Amino acid sequence: MNRNEFVVATAIVLLLAFTLGWFVHLIVQRFRRGSTDDMGELERLAQSLHDAEEARDEAVMQLEQRESELGNKLSQTEAELRAAMDGLRDARQEAEEMRAYIERMHSNSRS
């Protein structure tokens, strides 16, 4: 291989190395730029997830509070129902006693 062939071969090798390096540089830049965009998207998604979790926690807390209120109201209503049923039972018993008393009075007056 003479000197001219060596220079041409070296120039071709250097040109190929430069071209390959340039393509690799472009590919690396695209991946880096894409990952930066992806990081912004990931941060936005993370913030949305955080907001959704806070909203869910708030909804669960409100649900538990409402459930507690309804449980208290139910207990109160059941107590009122028991009191009303006891009152009704007492009133029926008293009415029955009054009927029996009236019937005895009628039977005593007839005799």
Q: For residue range 28-65, list pLDDT tens digits in order.
A: 888 777 666 677 788 889 999 999 999 999 999 999 99
Q: What percent of the chain has pLDDT over 90?
A: 71
Listed in sequence order, the residues at least 6 apart from 9 whose beta carbon sits closer than 8 Å to its beta carbon are 1
Distance CA 87, CA 74 (A): 20
For residue 68, count other CB atoms closer than 10 A to its CB: 10
What is residue 111's predicted lDDT score, i.e. its pLDDT? 64
- The amino acid that residue 105 corresponds to is M
